[in-house]
């Protein structure tokens, strides 16, 4: 403090106002500023802070999405879901990267992934192994006497059904024991569970057997006219569909009796239920048909220029996606399933062995002998292409659609298909986290500045009055402040906010109240230091009113430590407001407040740390900026400390 400068030179005693000279000279502030901008840390703080202010102002332009909008209708897929433990700053696998690579040790003859994609199984010769998808660890081994032709997961992933020789094996995954063996004469090459895991079917080329898992008896046996082309359960397990020759037949799953036959002109190449089993897609010759699965009427027929091989559904009703796929040689063709319009023709470059739609209906997977491709189902753009040396035997979508599982040669791979539409991922309520973090800047700056302004105004008034008047007023005010300071600040704030009711405004009020004593103390000591200065005495002698002396003469001279305290206090206020929101007492969902975002996702810390990481980093950067600036200001205002 440069008190020598502020001494009045020679007061002209004609009017009381002449003593205005006692104000601090303007040069003090300029000097402070000059000193401030010589400190690199303070400059850094200022730069960060102005960037944050700009971000706050232009948040709508920077944010890629509405921070409150639920992204249900987003056309992209493979976004970083909450279950993905990947922090982008540290580098995440990009589309086409192999995230898991399992060497099975022999050519894979059959493979399957469970419903949640957490476990994969591979069949090599007479051995079947279950692998953990995430860390490529061996979970369970199942040895058979003969080579394994087929394997399937039960819907709840508790059981695995394998077909080896003429036997069916039922394995229990929990106990890792063989549960029982059943006989399928002729040897099954397809096994399949129904949706609730109470039944399954096994099929060889001519026969389909239906099994019950309560009695473990075959409840029905279906003899087909020709070689089997397809066999499938409907979603609720009441029907079994088979395709052979040019006929699709629907069977009662409880008795094995024929219900209906759907006749085609040419031999069938594929038949499949849609996910809800309300429709059946068939391909035959160069035509594609959609049948209603309850009225057995043909709903749609589409012609293509070439013969069609594999048909597949691309349907997600909650997103309004209703498309069908089929392959013709090396081309995958996409039709609108409602009106039969041809939408896309995707050139795979080699004969396509399989085509499938992603779980959310936004991506298409095609694989030939050596290449796996993923396509955007909306515009037909190629999202990813991976070439593998060994011939590909099987592909499947990971349940979230963010990756594909590929079996080729001896190796099982999980290949990422996601792109970076969402820089910081998507939170548990399917909202764009990046936009929420950006909008959060507004709230945090607002929180810091309003709480501290409130606390400073009330603190300075009470502290200054206490210091100026002294005596019993001082005693009472400062004892009240002492009592408030006797409580840990956050606990007092929690109590106050509970009394007022949770909410952002009340949280701000609580934090302001808790901060008042700190400013009152600083203001009081400042006033006490300046009170006895000569220029104050001069004012008194001149008859200047007490209020005027306090606010125009004393306070401006006691301001420096207050400014420092306030700047540093903003950081603390932001931290405390975030803490209250974290505990559920501050900003309420869906407000994009950093603390609240952190609190909402804190149980996901082990599965999706990025949802906790980014809001926390944002808080840290903001607080750091205020702290750096505060430190710089302190050093600038008190050159003694500068070093």
Partner 1 sequence: MAGYLARRLTLAVPVLLGILFVTFALARLLPGDPCRSALGERATEQICEAFNERYGLNESIPEQFRIYLRDVLSGDLGESIKFGRPVTELMVERLPVTVELTFFAMLFAVLIGIPMGLVSAYYHNSSVDVLTMITANIGVSMPVFWLGLMLSYLFGVAFRDTVLWLPPSGRLSAGISIEPFYAAWGMSVNPDALTLPGFIANINTLNALLVQDWNGLGDALRHMILPAMALGTIPMSIIARMTRSSLLEVLGLNYVRTARAKGVRETKVVLKHAFRNALLPVVTIIGLSLGSLLSGAVLTETVFGLSGVGRILYDSITGRDYTVVQGFTLIIAVIFVFINLVVDTLYAYLDPRIRLE
Residues that bind partner 1 (CB under 8 A): 41, 85, 479-480, 482-484, 486-491, 494-496, 498-499, 501, 571, 575, 578-579, 582-583, 585, 595, 598, 602, 605-606, 609, 612-613, 615-616, 619-621, 623-624, 627-628, 631, 641, 643
Q: Rounding to the nearest 10 degrees, give the CA dihedral for residues 145, 150, 153, 155.
A: -130
Nearest approach in angstroms of CB 252 to partner 1 is: 49
Residue pair 535/553 in contact (Cβ under 8 Å)? The answer is yes
CA-wise closest residue to 421 among 65, 98, 69, 61: 65
Residue pair 52/594 in contact (Cβ under 8 Å)? The answer is no
Residue pair 362/401 in contact (Cβ under 8 Å)? The answer is yes
Angle at 577 between CA 573 and CA 579, to 5 degrees: 115
Nearest approach in angstroms of CB 576 to partner 1 is: 8
Nearest approach in angstroms of CB 453 to partner 1 is: 21
Specify the residue, 235 or 485, whose C-beta has the smaller distance to partner 1. 485
Nearest approach in angstroms of CB 72 to partner 1 is: 28
Peptide bond into 161 cis (omega under 30): no
Specify the residue, 67 or 489, whose C-beta has the smaller distance to partner 1. 489
CA-wise closest residue to 571 among 52, 131, 10, 9: 52
Residue pair 118/141 in contact (Cβ under 8 Å)? The answer is no
CA distances to 289, 298, 352, 614 from 328, rounded to whole Å, are 15, 22, 8, 46
Nearest approach in angstroms of CB 608 to partner 1 is: 10
Specify the residue, 12 or 602, whose C-beta has the smaller distance to partner 1. 602
CA distances to 19, 535, 543, 553 from 22, rounded to whole Å, are 6, 6, 15, 7
Nearest approach in angstroms of CB 116 to partner 1 is: 19
CA 193 to CA 76: how far, in whole Å? 31
- Chain position carrying tokens 């290949």: 415
Angle at 164 between CA 161 and CA 167, to 5 degrees: 80
Specify the residue, 262 or 629, whose C-beta has the smaller distance to partner 1. 629
Nearest approach in angstroms of CB 90 to partner 1 is: 10
As a whole number of Å, the CA-based R_g of the chain is 37
Specify the residue, 463 or 571, whose C-beta has the smaller distance to partner 1. 571
Specify the residue, 4 or 499, whose C-beta has the smaller distance to partner 1. 499
Specify the residue, 190 or 585, whose C-beta has the smaller distance to partner 1. 585
Nearest approach in angstroms of CB 472 to partner 1 is: 13
Nearest approach in angstroms of CB 637 to partner 1 is: 15
Specify the residue, 342 or 583, whose C-beta has the smaller distance to partner 1. 583
CA 367 to CA 384: how far, in whole Å? 12
Strand, coil or helix: what is 297? coil
CA 629 to CA 561: how far, in whole Å? 14
Specify the residue, 203 or 509, whose C-beta has the smaller distance to partner 1. 509
């Amino acid at each position: 403090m440069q008190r020598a400068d502020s001494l009045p030179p020679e007061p002209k005693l004609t009017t009381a106002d002449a003593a205005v000279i006692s104000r601090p000279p303007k040069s003090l502030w300029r000097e402070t500023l000059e000193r401030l901008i010589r400190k690199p840390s303070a400059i850094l703080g200022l730069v960060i802070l102005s960037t944050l202010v700009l971000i706050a102002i232009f948040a709508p332009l920077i944010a890629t999405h509405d921070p409150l909008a639920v992204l249900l209708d987003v056309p992209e897929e493979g976004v970083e879901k909450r279950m993905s433990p990947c922090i982008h700053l540290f580098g995440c696998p990009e589309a086409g990267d192999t995230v898991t690579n399992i060497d099975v040790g022999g050519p894979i003859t059959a493979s399957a992934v469970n419903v949640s994609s957490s476990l994969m199984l591979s069949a090599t010769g007479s051995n079947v192994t279950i692998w953990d998808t995430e860390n490529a660890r061996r979970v369970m081994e199942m040895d058979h006497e003969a080579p394994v032709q087929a394997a399937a997961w039960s819907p709840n992933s508790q059981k695995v059904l394998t077909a080896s020789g003429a036997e069916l094996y039922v394995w229990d995954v929990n106990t890792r024991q063989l549960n029982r063996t059943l006989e399928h004469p002729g040897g099954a090459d397809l096994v399949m569970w129904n949706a609730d895991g109470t039944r399954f079917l096994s099929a060889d080329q001519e026969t389909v057997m239906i099994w019950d898992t309560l009695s473990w008896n075959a409840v029905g046996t279906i003899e087909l006219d020709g070689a089997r082309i397809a066999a499938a359960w409907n979603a609720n397990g009441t029907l079994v569909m088979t395709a052979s020759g040019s006929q699709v037949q629907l069977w009662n799953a409880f008795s094995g009796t024929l219900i209906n036959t759907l006749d085609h002109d040419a031999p069938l190449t594929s038949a499949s239920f849609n996910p809800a089993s309300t429709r059946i897609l068939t391909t035959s010759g160069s035509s594609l048909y959609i049948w209603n699965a309850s009225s057995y009427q043909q709903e749609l027929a589409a012609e293509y220029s070439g013969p069609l091989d594999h048909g597949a559904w691309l349907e997600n009703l909650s997103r309004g996606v209703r498309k069908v796929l089929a392959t013709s040689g090396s081309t995958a063709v996409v039709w609108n399933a409602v009106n039969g319009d041809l939408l896309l023709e995707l050139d795979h470059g080699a004969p396509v062995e399989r085509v499938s739609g992603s779980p959310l209906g936004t991506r298409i997977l095609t694989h030939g002998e050596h290449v796996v491709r993923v396509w955007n189902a909306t515009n037909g753009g190629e999202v990813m292409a991976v070439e593998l040396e060994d011939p590909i035997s099987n592909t499947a979508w990971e349940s979230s659609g963010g990756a594909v599982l590929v079996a080729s040669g001896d190796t099982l791979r999980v290949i990422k298909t996601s792109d970076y539409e969402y820089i910081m991922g998507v939170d548990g309520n399917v909202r764009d986290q990046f936009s929420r973090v950006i909008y959060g800047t507004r709230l945090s700056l607002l929180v810091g500045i309003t709480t501290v302004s409130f606390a400073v105004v009330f603190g300075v008034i009470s502290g200054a009055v206490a210091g100026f008047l002294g005596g019993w007023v001082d005693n009472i005010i400062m004892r009240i402040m002492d009592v408030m300071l006797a409580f840990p600040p956050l606990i007092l704030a929690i109590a106050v906010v509970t009394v007022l009711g949770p909410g952002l405004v009340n949280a701000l009020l609580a934090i302001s109240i808790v901060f008042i004593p700190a400013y009152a103390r600083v203001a009081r000591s400042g006033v006490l230091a300046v009170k006895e200065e000569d220029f104050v005495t001069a004012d008194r002698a001149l008859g200047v009113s007490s209020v005027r002396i306090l606010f125009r003469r004393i306070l401006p001279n006691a301001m420096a430590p207050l400014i420092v305290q306030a700047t540093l206090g903003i950081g603390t206020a932001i931290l405390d407001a975030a803490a209250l929101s974290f505990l559920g007492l501050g900003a309420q969902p869906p407000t994009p407040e950093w603390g609240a975002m952190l609190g909402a996702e804190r149980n996901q810390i082990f599965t999706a740390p990025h949802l906790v990481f980014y809001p926390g980093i944002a808080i840290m950067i903001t607080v750091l900026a205020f702290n750096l600036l505060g430190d710089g200001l302190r050093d600038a205002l008190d050159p003694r400390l500068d070093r």
